[in-house]
Amino acid sequence: MEAADKDLVIALLRQYAGIVEKKPGCPPLAK
């Protein structure tokens, strides 16, 4: 996996985590 691809995946995961955490009643993701 290239560094650029890894950065993209991390960015997507962070964005997804932020969306999930904003929803009420959802358990926080393990950090």
> Rounded CA gap, 14 and 19, in Å?
9
Within 13 Å and on the Cβ side, how many CA atoms surround 25? 0
Q: 1-31: per-residue pLDDT in tens?
A: 699 999 999 999 888 877 766 666 656 665 5
25: amino acid identity, one letter: G
> Rounded CA gap, 5 and 3, in Å?
5
In the numeric block, which tokens belong to residue 18? 């932020």
* pTM (predicted TM-score): 0.48
> Rounded CA gap, 24 and 1, in Å?
35
